[in-house]
Amino acid sequence: MMMEEIKTTIIDRIKLHFSDAVEKEFSYNRLDFSVKKETVPSILFYLKEEMGFKHLSHISCVDWLEEGEFEMIFILWSPEEKIKVFIHTRVDRSNPVMDNIDMIWRQANTYEREMKEMYGIQFTGLEAPEEFLLEDWNGPPPMRRDFDTEAYAAKTYWERPGREDALDVRETVEKRTGEVLPEFAKKYKR
Amino acid sequence: MSFDLKGTLKPLTALKQFGQKPHTLTNVPFIPREAADRYRGLHYNNLDECIGCGNCSTICQNQAIDMIPVDGIEGKNGDSGLRPRVDHGRCCWCGLCVDVCPTGSLSLTKDYVYVSEDANSFLWTPGVDNPEGDERVSFFSTKETSLNDLGRIPMPELEGMERIKSFAEVVLGYNEEQARAEASRCISCGLCTEACPEHMHIPEYINAIAGGNDEDAVRIIYDNNPLPEMCGKVCTRRCEDICAIAHRGDPIAIRWLKRYATETVENADLLKEIINPEIKEPNGFKVGIIGAGPSGLTAAYYLALKGFDCTIYEANSKAGGMTMYGIPRYRFPEDSLDKQIEYIQKIGVRIHFNTKVGKDISFGEIYHNYDAVFMGVGFPKPWTLGIEGEELHGSIQAVNFLYEINNGKKVDIGNKVIVIGGGNVAIDAARVSARLGADVTILYRRRVQDMPADWEEIEGAEAEGIHIISQAIPIQFHGDEKGHITTVEYLKAEMVPDEHGGRPKPIAIEGSNTVIEVTAVLGAIGQQGDYSFLEEEFDEKVKIERGRIVVNEKQETTLNKLFAGGDSANRIADAISAIADGYRAVKGIEELLMKGK
């Protein structure tokens, strides 16, 4: 079967079973669906058990800060048809709760631990140790876009002695040329 | 639980290895494995390529990078003299510092083994402390991978052959969206402020534009330049020559951004409202200013803000000096300065137009009537070539030609014009001639790349169909019986390297005489001062060297209470250095008059 036919078949079957699925086609062997978050476990289960998408390649997350949402992306692979399907869903950023899916693929457990630590997403019923990669972490989830790395570093780590002699480039040049920067302009300095 | 005999005895079998040569530590001393091609290990910095812009230090989210002075590296124009020092104990090897380095001097190496009992020794300066690192570089940035925005937002312009149909302004100016995008390319290092003779607050006003705060940008610009609309159009923009981004891309369009900001203000009243300058109470001192060019206007504006009573005497009917009368209208439309001059008058500066010092009023009268005098009289007199036939009808000085045309007069140049020279005046004269319908050729004695004119002007001329004959030295003009010029005879030249290390010299090739037919020749090989207005008693006291008035660092001349600036006092001879002179003179005059107050 040609790739286009495979894609059409997948779209038809998915839309028949999951009325909220909205497809988006990409060139070659990629096909995307967006669904409500409640649909995620059943659509993943269906794709795995009924349509040959046996392999979970990846779970990823995007922080749509301005829209107040996280986007979760599940990437599946069908070894027979050589096609990948992306399942997208949106989660409320102020209450980021998702269903745990590690009973469908055991390896999802690892990805979910990563999402939990890096984005603060809670997976209902996830059984895993509290810490993943970050040791003794006490800050907010660091992959969130409103995480201020610089402020965190300044607060958390002590200043190594011997760094007090650092100079500001702009001020060094100012001093050399005799330029006097007016007070009201200073807020536009780098 | 029963006793596990096997589990207890089995580990003891390991004892049989005791005394054997170890397999795991054969590489003593330890030799690390070669890292991957794009490995991000310890830093290396090419100290000669680095310009100390500090962008690496700014981007570092772990605050691991300091900018520090390094022995043997002097700060100079385009180089802060500082170099990055990295706390390798804080570094997380993300490589952002490399990605944003505008010169590409900073890189990461394949070195990853760093062992020390003293954690503080992790603080060191790449390139200084690991000079051998250049052979181990693995993660570096190229133009393609750089996170700097290297391409300039193109300036909308009239198309080449469309331009010569009229004197319409060629450059159309950025719109808001284009200006914000262009301003956002700036990395705010501020190295450019050193190249600017007036040390304008460039990164700050560009940042204001990038952030959508045009009014703040205008305020910052007027802090030390009262003629930014002029500079926004015709500045020689030394700042752009040394822009950090120019090392691998197009420099930030600093000049066009200044133009954009100033053009957002519609009239002088609004300008005054936005700048809302603090004008001090009158202090009772009067300052007389000769010449309403860039230096005189600048001095008058800032003196007036400080409470001085300022009067300018200007020979022409409009202010602006050489920018108004020497620069063609397609670069600098006649109304370009109106808003600024009106604003300067609004804060209390008086300008007497059509008043030539030495004719309508004597220098002595001004000198005696004012507490201090500033002179910005420019270089009005053209140099002549000093060759036979220069007196022929149709042999014209380019500055006089531009003056007449800018005054709306007609000059008969016929249809075949030769311009002699390679500076901005020569290019201006050529492009004006093309607009008058002539076929124009520029004769220049050196190579095109040696021309002192702006490259944009040279390109502009070429786009408008102007021919350039380089390495050509005119030796004689020939005329007909009516005394009108008919041909120009020139010799071809070869470039000979200068033994003293200067730029190559053109040496005429004997016998290479070539003749071109012309209807007019425009000479543009430079100008000089004209100080004939100084009466004898002052003439002796004002020291003049090689045609320029001698001034000290406060622009003070050798005559008491007389200050000078602009082309007649500085060697750079452009508008922005004239503005810088005027600004410096303000401090000098204030010091002189307000002493003890």
Best residue of B80, B118, B305 to probe chain A, by most A CBs closer than 10 Å: B80
B-chain CB neighbours of A162 within 8 Å are 120, 123
Rounded to two decimals, the pTM is 0.86
Best residue of B59, B61, B553 to probe chain A, by most A CBs closer than 10 Å: B61
Which of B89, B189, B220 is the closest to A185 by Cβ?
B220
Contacts 24+ apart (CB under 8 A), B463-467: B463/B160, B463/B163, B464/B160, B464/B161, B464/B163, B464/B164, B464/B431, B464/B434, B465/B160, B465/B161, B465/B164, B465/B434, B465/B440, B466/B430, B466/B431, B466/B434, B466/B440, B466/B441, B466/B442, B467/B440, B467/B441, B467/B442
A-chain CB neighbours of B63 within 8 Å are 150, 153-154
Q: What is the predicted pLDDT for the residue at B25?
A: 59
- The residues of A whose Cβ lies within 8 A of any Cβ of B are 149-150, 153-154, 157, 160-163, 165-170, 172-174, 176-179, 181-182, 184-186, 188-190
Q: What is the predicted pLDDT for the residue at B26?
A: 57
Q: What is the predicted pLDDT for the residue at A70?
A: 97
B-chain CB neighbours of A182 within 8 Å are 201, 220, 223
Q: What is the predicted pLDDT for the residue at B29?
A: 67
Q: Is B243 on the interface with A (CB under 8 A)?
A: no
Residues B46 and B135: their CA atoms lie apart, in Å, by 11
Report angle CA B245, B249, B252 to the nearest 5 degrees.
Answer: 50
ipTM: 0.86
Q: How close A65 gets to chain B, by Cα (Å)?
A: 20
* Structural contact between residues B451 and B358, judged by C-beta atoms closer than 8 angstroms: no
Question: What domains, with CATH codes, occur in chain A?
Answer: 3-137 (3.30.460.80)
Residue of chain A with shortest Cα separation from B212 = A188
CB interface of B with A, residues 179-238, below 8 Å = 187-191, 193-194, 199, 201, 203-205, 207-208, 211, 216, 219-220, 223
Give me the sheet containing A55-64, strands edge to edge.
Answer: A22-25, A30-34, A83-92, A69-78, A55-64
Enumerate the β-bridge partners of residue B82.
Answer: B69
Residues B97 and B84: their CA atoms lie apart, in Å, by 10
Q: How close A131 gets to chain B, by Cα (Å)?
A: 20
Q: Do A178 and B199 touch (CB under 8 A)?
A: yes
Whether the upstream peptide bond of residue B29 has omega within 30° of 0, thus cis, is yes
B-chain CB neighbours of A179 within 8 Å are 193, 199, 201
Best residue of A169, A175, A180, A183 to probe chain B, by most B CBs closer than 10 Å: A169
B-chain CB neighbours of A160 within 8 Å are 87, 89-90, 119-120, 122-123
pLDDT over threshold 90, residue A110: yes
Q: What is the predicted pLDDT for the residue at B22?
A: 67
Q: What is the predicted pLDDT for the residue at A101?
A: 96
Report angle CA A89, A94, A96 to the nearest 5 degrees.
Answer: 45
Q: How many CB pairs under 8 A join A and B?
A: 111
* Residues A1-23: tens digit of each pLDDT: 688 899 999 999 999 999 999 99
Q: Do A169 and B194 touch (CB under 8 A)?
A: no
Q: How close A144 gets to chain B, by Cα (Å)?
A: 15
Q: How close A82 gets to chain B, by Cα (Å)?
A: 31
* Structural contact between residues B276 and B253, judged by C-beta atoms closer than 8 angstroms: no
Residue B358: closest CA among B528, B529, B527, B531: B531
Q: Where are the beta strands (DSSP E) in B12-134?
A: 43-45, 65-69, 82-87, 106-109, 123-124
Q: How close B548 gets to chain A, by Cα (Å)?
A: 24
Residue B237 buriedness (CB in 10 A; 0-12 / 13-18 / 19+): buried
Residue corresponding to tokens 């009772």:
B284
Q: What is the predicted pLDDT for the residue at B577?
A: 96
Q: Is B90 on the interface with A (CB under 8 A)?
A: yes
Q: Do B207 and A188 touch (CB under 8 A)?
A: yes
Q: How close B97 gets to chain A, by Cα (Å)?
A: 14
Contacts of residue B217, defined as CB under 8 A and 6 or more positions apart, other chains included, come to: B205, B206, B208, B209, B261
Q: Do B189 and A174 touch (CB under 8 A)?
A: no
Contacts of residue A13, defined as CB under 8 A and 6 or more positions apart, other chains included, come to: A51
Residues B14 and B34: their CA atoms lie apart, in Å, by 32
Q: Do B120 and A157 touch (CB under 8 A)?
A: no
Q: How close B202 gets to chain A, by Cα (Å)?
A: 10
Q: Do B201 and A179 touch (CB under 8 A)?
A: yes
Q: Do B62 and A168 touch (CB under 8 A)?
A: no
DSSP conformational letter for B171:
B
Q: Do A169 and B80 touch (CB under 8 A)?
A: yes
Residue ranges per domain, chain B? Answer: 43-139, 382-528
**Mean pLDDT per 10-residue section of chain B, whose length is 597 residues:** 78 81 64 88 97 97 96 95 96 95 97 88 96 95 96 91 88 96 97 97 98 97 96 94 96 97 94 95 96 97 97 95 92 91 96 96 96 95 92 94 92 95 94 94 94 90 94 95 95 90 89 95 94 92 93 96 96 93 97 85
Best residue of B199, B252, B302, B305 to probe chain A, by most A CBs closer than 10 Å: B199
Q: Is B64 helix (H, G, I), strand (E, B) or coil?
A: coil
Q: Do B193 and A160 touch (CB under 8 A)?
A: no
Domain B43-139, CATH: 3.30.70.3270
Q: Do B199 and A162 touch (CB under 8 A)?
A: no
Best residue of B59, B63, B216 to probe chain A, by most A CBs closer than 10 Å: B63
B-chain CB neighbours of A166 within 8 Å are 66-68, 85
A-chain CB neighbours of B580 within 8 Å are none
Domain B382-528, CATH: 3.50.50.60
Which of B62, B188, B208 is the closest to A153 by Cβ?
B62
